[in-house]
Every structure is written in structure tokens, then in C-alpha cells.
Structure 1
């Protein structure tokens, strides 16, 4: 190894220097006096002993330093080979201690960067897999519709209109799913910075209601707001509106016609809580734990066009702003989602 060569080189240079120093002293004394007395020979011997002792001490320290440098070099190689988890922290004093401290800091940064990169790769892989899986069914349906129209297998105008309407619905479903997935991916990847400020809930509720007005009118459903909606909440208004739209859409999808959906506000000195309540089919108790999972759909599915991403997106938004979302449900009686924001 290169360090072995450097150690031997240091030892050789030191020994040569020591011998030359002793010889120089002997020559100087001999030239001065013509011969060396017993005392002078004693001085020469003492000088030689002192130089040898100094050599042993200094070489021991140099040898230890090279050993520590070799160990540090080996640890660096482990890190370069992505084996940073194998590095065990040790403590040293002096300049070497500073070097080791900086090295451990570097290892921590590299490990964190590597772990973050691995999580991003896994997340991206899952996202792509989920999207491709969810697009298969609507794309297959669209292919069937297009083939029917291209091959003139459907001559009835009303039937053709029916097929085109269904194709349009499938396209809208895919568009909504992809946009929602992109929003969810941005939030979970940490690329969204929520801009929180004090906003009246009345403003947020109005925007959310406008986002589902057409859906509610189609099913003759009524949105009822209860509680003091003039309360100001520290949040990102646009993103909270997005979360409420998803919850209201879910409530509408799983409720029958001529039913009521409630937006209810509960305010205390400790927290502000928003409820989204419906009179729908409810969720089986054993499935409540799964409803916030991406693409999860309950087994009593009554909405065949459901994608199963709205609740997951709402949860990510609420938690991204420091809130908490929970759900209570009873089959055939309805479901209640609560969004809690502590002060």
C-alpha cells in the first residue's frame, strides 16, 4: 500500500538524518581537537540515544496517524460503495478528531440523500404502476366504443349518442384521475409549499360549493352549512377548497337523490373542526381503516365510476397543512368526515 511506502520512506529519511547528525558531530569534534576524549564520546553516544528515542516516539505517532488515515480511507470506500450503514462512529481528539467529525457529517448527508432518492424512486414506481393499472379499464372501453363507431356496427342514432356520451364520461374520468394523481404526487413528494394564512371559512365553503354545484343539482341534493362559517382559519385556502370538493363529491356519489349533505363547523379555543356529513350508504366498519388508501374502493361499491383517489388526496392536503382527518360511518345511515385544525 502507498501508506506503507510512505512510512518506510519517513523511517529511512529519519535514520539517515540521525546518522549524518552523529557523524557531523564526530567530525566537528575531531577537527577541533584532533581526537575525541571520553567525555566527547559520551556526548556523541547521548546524542545518538536522544535521536533514537525521539525517532521511536515520533515514528509511533506518525504510524498511528497513518493507521487512522487508512481506516478513514476504508470507511470512505464503504460509503462510496453505498455501505454507509456499516460505518460505526468513533471519537478521536485533535486534528484527526475534526477530520472524523466532518467525515461522519458527510456520511449522514450522503445517507439521507440516498434514502430520499430511494423513497422517490419507489414512490415514482408505485405512481406509474397505479396510473397504468387504473387507465387499462377506461382505455379498453374507449377502444370498444371507437371500434363500434368505426365499423358502423351501431346504426341507431340514439345508441350512437349513448356510446359517445359514455366515451366522454370515460375521458373525463381519466382526466380527473390523472390530474388528481399529479396533485397527490406533488404533495407526497414535498414539492408543494402550502401558503397558510387566516381565511374566513365562508369564502372556502363558497368555493367548494361552486365546485360541486352541477353534481348536486343533477341528483337533486342539497348542501346545508351549519355553524359559524365566518370564523377565520389558518390554512391554504385553495388547497383546503380542493380537499372539501373531494369530500363533497364523495358524499354526493355515495348518497341517493333528494338527500342532504352537511358542512358543519365546530370551533373551540383549542381547535377548529369541519365536518362533511352525508345520508348515504355508509361504509362497513372493517373497511374504514382502508378508505384513505390510494385507489381503494369499498366492497359495497355503488358508484362504478369511482376512482378511489379523492379521499387519499384530501387526507394528504389536510395533513400537509398540519391538520388531521378522521371518519365515522354507519351502514345505510351515512358517513361523517372530520377535518381538525389545532390552534
Structure 2
């Protein structure tokens, strides 16, 4: 009798009882007055009809009540933490449409919960990575500061430790700046100021930036491409993206190595290609190099913080471009930056 806890259903049955009862009484009264006799057969038929109507209504509302109770049970399971709980909604009808919408809402809430958990995990891992990356230079600074105090009379030792301290400070500054840049790109807080730029001019500026380091390490940066090729881009940000890849190439090549920067225009895309003949990327790492703070167990680089390539990828994608890499272990790496060409309508 749970169905009668619903006030509207209870009122409906009372109304049906009153209407059918009144109809039977009036019908029998009419028969008695018109035929001067009580019609037993008609009375029994009326009772049977009334019983049929009440039974049909009861069974219908009883099934509806069972469906609602099952829906409430599934909702309770979902609220208690069972993310797979769903209401059966395969049939047609308004109630099933409601159940379907509830299932859709549950799926949406699940997606939000998963995304929120992923965000929390990402923030926790990022904070852990940042802490780990800062520990090394900070520990080095503490040591150098202690040595400086002990060697305060030895000017050469003071100068040497001061230079080492400066490098560690630069390392911390690079980490912080790259983090800020990636965070701003992720948040959409940076709007690319795009203009038609000459690629040759940009790559020559980039080469000039690394020229002193390349000479000191006895390496060569070679440019190759037509002088009149252009690209719609934010000049400073695009140079930043290519610079990170070139820096990565310088870090992983030996003396007497060459780093090639090429650009060319294809029918649908303009490509900037950075090649080196360095140590290459281990096959185990090739699918992870654009992950933040990723450090290969095969890498000999102990100073990198794992943010350069992820930052380059974020910048390229902010230009609606794509970045791909191909590498052979001990045979060098090739990075390809592709940007869609403007089309005239």
C-alpha cells in the first residue's frame, strides 16, 4: 500500500470510488423506480466493472511506485559513492525520459568528479616536482654560501663560488619563469599578438642569441630556407618555442656537432624543422618528452628541469599548430613544427 502514501494517488482513488459508487447507486435507483424492481444482474456487473477499474488503476500505480522506488534506490547508491549506479530507462514515456535525464546528469557529475580528481593529482604532482627541482639548486646555494664564509680571504675561491651561485640562481629563475609562462598559457591569460613575420629574420635573431654558446662549445647552427617565407605568428613567443628546442639540442650534442634549422612552405602548412646529430631520444622516452618535469632515466642531463619542450608544445598549440618528433638513439633528433597556411576566401 505504499502507493497510497502519495497524496495525489490517494485522492484519485477516493474520487474514483465516489464517482463509481454514485453511478451504481443512481443506476440502481433508476432501475428500481422505472422497473419497480432491483436489478441484481446489473448491480453485479457494475460491481465487477468497478473492481476492474480499481484493480487496473492499482496495478498501474503500483508499477509506477516500484519504478520510482528503484530510481530512488539507484540515486541513493550514486550519492553514497557508487558511480556506476544508473536507473533503467530503456522504455518510452515521460517517466523514462526523466530517468534518462537523471542518468545523463549522473554521467556529467562523474566526468566533473574525474576531472577534478585529475586536477588535484596534477597539482599535487606538480607541487612535488617543483619542490624536487628547487631542492637541488637551493642545497647548492647553501653549500656555496657556507664555503664563501670559510674562504672569505681567498678572492679566487670567492669568485669561483660566486659564479656557481649565480648559475644556481639562474636555474631557479628559469624554472619559475617557465612555470609562469606555461600556467598563463594554460589559463588562456595570454593572447597571441599575431602578425605576418619573416621566418628568416626570426631564425637569424635566434641564431645570434645562441651564437656565443655555440662557439664556446665548438658547435654550429645552420639555417636553411627561403628568405621571403612568412608566417602569421606572435614573434616573441614563436622564437621562445624554437629556442627551447635549439637549447635542448645544444644540451644533447657533443663538440663539432651541427644543429640545422630549416623552414619551408607546403601547400597546406608551413613547417619549421630543427635537426641535430646528437645522442637522440631513447624509444622509451619518445612519447613522454612533452610531459612536464619528465626526466628520462637514460638522460645524462642533470640540470634540465623538464619544462622547455612542454612550453614549446604549449606555444605551438596556442598558434593552432602541431609539433612532432622523430629520433634515433645515438643518431640525432628531428622536431617538426607545423602551422596551417592562411587561405584566401
| TM-score in terms of structure 1 length | 0.79
Alpha-carbon distance in structure 2 between the residues aligned to 1:81 and 1:121:
21
Deviation at 1:120, TM superposition (A): 0.9
Deviation at 1:110, TM superposition (A): 1.0
Alpha-carbon distance in structure 2 between the residues aligned to 1:9 and 1:196:
64
- Name 1:283's counterpart in structure 2: 280
Q: Residues 178-225 of structure 1: CA distance to partner in whole angstroms, max 9, x if unpaired?
A: 3323444565x5656775967433454356446545644655755432
Select which of 252, 268, 271 maps to 2:269.
271
- Name 1:230's counterpart in structure 2: 228
- Name 1:169's counterpart in structure 2: 167
| Paired residues of 1:247 and 1:311 also in contact (CA < 8 A) | yes
- Name 2:64's counterpart in structure 1: 65
- Name 2:104's counterpart in structure 1: 105
Alpha-carbon distance in structure 2 between the residues aligned to 1:228 and 1:297:
36
Structure 1 residues 295, 7: CA separation in 2 closer, same or farther (over 3 Å shift)? closer
- Name 1:38's counterpart in structure 2: 38
| Paired residues of 1:271 and 1:340 also in contact (CA < 8 A) | yes
Q: How does 1:117-196 map to 2 (within 5 A)?
A: 117-149=116-148, 151-184=149-182, 191=188, 195=192
Deviates most, 14-23 or 28-37: 28-37
5+ long unaligned stretches in structure 1: none
Aligned length: 336
| Paired residues of 1:196 and 1:234 also in contact (CA < 8 A) | no
SS of the residue 2:138 aligns to: helix
| Paired residues of 2:4 and 2:10 also in contact (CA < 8 A) | no
SS of the residue 2:84 aligns to: helix
| Paired residues of 2:178 and 2:311 also in contact (CA < 8 A) | yes
| Paired residues of 1:276 and 1:336 also in contact (CA < 8 A) | yes
Structure 1 residues 46, 341: CA separation in 2 closer, same or farther (over 3 Å shift)? same
| TM-score in terms of structure 2 length | 0.78
Q: Residues 62-115 of structure 1: CA distance to partner in whole angstroms, max 9, x if unpaired?
A: 122222222222232233234233326632322112212321221222122112
Structure 1 residues 202, 155: CA separation in 2 closer, same or farther (over 3 Å shift)? same
5+ long unaligned stretches in structure 2: none
Deviation at 1:143, TM superposition (A): 1.1
Deviation at 1:18, TM superposition (A): 1.7
Alpha-carbon distance in structure 1 between the residues aligned to 2:282 and 2:23:
97
Structure 1 residues 273, 9: CA separation in 2 closer, same or farther (over 3 Å shift)? closer
| Paired residues of 1:246 and 1:311 also in contact (CA < 8 A) | yes
Q: How does 1:182-221 map to 2 (within 5 A)?
A: 182-184=180-182, 191=188, 195=192, 199-200=196-197, 201-202=199-200, 204-205=202-203, 208-209=206-207, 212=210, 215-216=213-214, 219=217
| Paired residues of 1:243 and 1:318 also in contact (CA < 8 A) | yes
Deviation at 1:153, TM superposition (A): 4.0
Please provide the CA RMSD for this pair.
3.8
| Paired residues of 2:3 and 2:61 also in contact (CA < 8 A) | no
Alpha-carbon distance in structure 2 between the residues aligned to 1:74 and 1:176:
55
